[in-house]
Structures are given as structure tokens and as C-alpha cells.
Structure 1
Amino acid sequence: MSTTADAVRVASPTETRNPRTLDIDRLDTLTLLRTLHAEDARVPAAVAAALPRLAEAVDLAVTALRRGGRIHYFGAGSSGRFGVLDAAEVPPTYGLPPGRFVAHLAGGDRAMTAAVESVEDSAEAGGAAAGGLTALDVAVGLTASGRTPYVAGALRAARTRGARTVLVSGNPAAPLDDLADVHIAVETGPEAVMGSTRMKAGTAQKLVLHTFSTATMVRLGRTYSNLMVDVVATNAKLRGRVLTTLVAATGVEEATARQALAAAGGDLKVAIVTVLTGTDAATARDRLDAAGGHVRRALGR
């Protein structure tokens, strides 16, 4: 599709007027809330319709991370802030080393808490932000309208460096579609307040990002069943979670779980394998290494 100035002037579905909310300024508070909620309720079905493309993006991410690459989020305004939040939450949740999920927000750190809206118009800034990407990486552009110049510059630069590219938008006819290997278009339609894409489009982007990163971590073996097993226990709460997880994964008494964790040097994955297979910690580590860190595969061996 075209990325010319003429294409940029075409209104995104997220920026058109919503016929269902024309009188919201006349409603009493409860009716107003019900109206807004009814619009929000449209989001999950819209995300569900985009799951096949989301699956493609997850597979790209899994391949990239297995090869030592990184996942880069690029966005401006609300879209960019959602990327920052997701990238910040993945490492502590799944024990991923810093720098594997990287967020690039137009305007930098200052734009996280203040409006720096003009920077989204700079394709050059987006290209500069993507300057460090390699062919091992995946670039994910976040833009409700599907036309943000900052994101365009980032995706274009990412492609020149051989990186795979993903676009997350609320516009099936996004002008940036031709810069993406995978375009996850979530049709949330017009916002309750025209152009306020932190609402339905934003909720959709958050759902897509959280689902994308969670599914990627599961595929990489960062869970056993539905348990987080790569938690780095840096405080009392997390040390308690590690112990609780080991008990849930194995069914042993808490005292036995404590002993297994101590023998495993605090490594939850190693402790699970030792308990469930009856091996020692060294053998459990060897099994996990051979299984690429997947607990279930290590148990199968």
C-alpha cells in the first residue's frame, strides 16, 4: 500500500466519528459509563479476529530470541507508552535478561509522562532509533492509525538492516502495511470520543502486546504448565512465590520443597526436575540444558 502524503491524509477508522456516542455529553453518569463500557466490550472480539496474524508475530519473536536477537517496540504517544510498559514487565516476570525486549518511545523518557507530540512526525527520529538493529531482531511498530511517521522510519530502517517487522494498528488499510512482514490490524472502529485512541485502540494494543509477549515466553519454555519458573527471587515476595510454585508443580510438602531449592542453589527449574525425576541437581541441569531450558522437555528426557 502507498505511504505517500496522499495516503497519510486518509482518515484512520480510529479517528472517525462514532454514531453510537453522539449524545454522551447529555447522559447521566451511570448511563455514560454503560455507554463507554459497551464500546470497550467490542475490543476482545476484535483482538480475537486478529489472532492468526498475532500467531505469526509470536513465531517470529520466538525464532529471534532463540537466535540471540531482540524484540524492539517503536511507538509515539499512548501507543509508545504501552510498548514501554510491556517491555519493562517481561524481564522481571519471566527472568529474561535485560535488553531482550527494548522499547523506543518517540521523545524519549520525557514523553512517558508528558506530551511530546511533535516527535511522532519525524521519520528520521524513528530511523535513528532503529539504527542499532540487526538481522537477528524483530521490530514491532505500534500505531493506532497505522501511519505514524516515527514508526514508518523505524520499520523502514529495520528492514534495511535485515530485521523482521511487525505492525500493530487499528487500521486494516494502514499506509504502513507494506513495511511489515506481519500486520496485526485490530478493527476496534471509531472511539467513543473521536480520536482518543488511548481508549478502544489502546486497550486492543495492550491486549495484543501482553498476549504477544506472554505467548512468546511460554513458547520459549519460561513456564512449566501455567507456572512461572524463571522467576529471579530478588525479594521476600518472590522467594515466597518460588517456594509456592515448586510445591504447586510437584505436590511435595513445603519442607521438602525448601530442601530441593537449597540443593538446586535456588534454581526453580532445577528443583522441579530433581523432585519429579528423583535425580540430583547436576543431572537435572544437564537435562535442562539438553532440553533448551524447557522443564517439560527435560522431564520427558
Structure 2
Amino acid sequence: MAKGKQSRAVSGGGAQVFDRTPPHSTEAERSVLGAMLLNPDAVAAAVEILGEDLDTFYVEAHRHVYEAVLELFRRNIPVDPTTLVEQLNRLEALDAAGGPAYIADLAGAVPTSANVEHYARIVLDAALLRRLIAACTQVVGEAYHAEGDVDTLLDNAEAQIFAIAERKQFNPIYKVSTLLEAGIHRIEAQIRSSTGITGVASGIPELDNLLSGFQPSDMVVLAARPSVGKTALALNIAAHVANHLNRGVLMFTIEMSKEQLVQRLLCMVGQVDSQRLRTGYLAGKEFTKIQKAADIL
């Protein structure tokens, strides 16, 4: 990341309060653009990470170059120095991008496109830092001049930070050949399975026969009328997965407190009437069952 004393307005809004150059890496920007000029596959990989926000690039010339690359990519035109110069001419941005000589220089910035994703992440990280600085600067200004509800100010600050954090998340691009290979491996595993359960078993044979266990990326919804045992069923499955399969389980609920949730688990595993536990009318043997259930859990 470049450092120095030069001032520059931070991309993304907010007042300039620090007499410092915002975070950026000129070399990483040159490298990612150069890699895209070397290999068509590198364009898709880089765009997947960088997105379509031109301000992701710090250097103005690089923004113009990336804008032209995006336009070629959308039109399914191969990106190379010739097509890029032509597109920049169409956008009337060739001079702003440094001219044909600079485009040729970018094409030789890296010997290979193999590290394009690494370069793209460096560029994105620097852009996110600039946006974070801008957001925090704005929050500081609003805090000094706050006239409304503090909770609203906190909510706005939180929303801005979360929006920046979400930009780090992206779904990678996969080649069909890679997916086919993984698919064959899954089919082989299913053939070798002696139980027919290829996912995480629920402990309920009828359900496992239908689903072959809970599969990765599946969202399973338990739907029923109120007070018919949805939470009890979910707890039963969670306890089975944790205790019998030794798998981690995380449970969220907006209906029950953590104390109520634990009591239900203790009663279920210890096979003790929950009403007797709530009222405290437990026999000695029942309390022993509760203690044993706690040890199991």
C-alpha cells in the first residue's frame, strides 16, 4: 500500500481530514489490468472479485482502462491491447487512460496471468480501506454534529460498515470440468455408502430415507401449526447430530430464552417431564437423570 504526505479526496464520500495518501497499490492495479490483457479467463476471474465499481481502482487512468475492459467483457469481445485501445477511443478516454503507449506498457506489466486473483484482492482490499476511511470520517462528522437520536446514528454507522464488509464476500467462478470431477466423486461416495445416507443423519429413519441426510447448502424448513412440536423436533435432531455424530450444532431461536432451551434439552435427553422440571417437583431419580443428561450434553 502506498504511503505519503500527498492529500487526495477519499473515494466514497466524507470529508478529507487526514493529510495522507489513501491506501492503494499502483503496482497491483497495473498487474491486474496487465493480466487481463494476457488471458481472457483472467478477465472473468478479476471482474468476479473487483465488481463493476470503477472507484475500486485508485489511479484515474486505471479506472478508464477498467471501464473499457468491462464494456468489452459485457459484449463478449476478447480483451487485448488492440480491442482495448479501440474501446477507449469509443469512450473518448484514450488520452485519459495514458494513450496507446501506456496500454502496451500494461500488457507487459506481468509475465503471466496466473496470479490475477491475488492482484485483484490486493486492489479490492485497498479500495475497501478507502471506503472504510470515508465512512468513518462521515460518522465522526455526524457524531460531532449529532442533533437526533443516537441510536439512529449508531444504526447508520453499523449499516455503512456492514456494507463495506459484505463487499469482501463473493462467489468464485468454477470451470465445468472442475464441477464434473467433483460430481463424479460424490456419485462414487453415494455408491460406496452402505446406509444410503450421504449427508448428516437426523436420527429419524423415515426422514433420513427421504432426504438421505441433510445435504450441504440445503435449507430445510420445518413448517407446522403453532404448538405441535417444531422446536422439540429441531432440538431432537440437534442433540442427535451433536451427541451421536459428534458434529457441531449452532441453534438460533427468537421464541425461547437460552434457559428454556437448555431445560428442554435436559428433559429430552434425560427423559424427564418438562412440567415437573418447571415446577421443581422432581423425584431423586429424576434429578439424577437430569445430571446425567447434562454430562452427555
TM-score range, shorter chain: under 0.3
Higher strand share: 1
TM-score (norm 2): 0.25
Which structure would you say has the larger Rg? 2
Higher relative contact order (CA 8 A, sep 6+): 1
TM-score (norm 1): 0.25
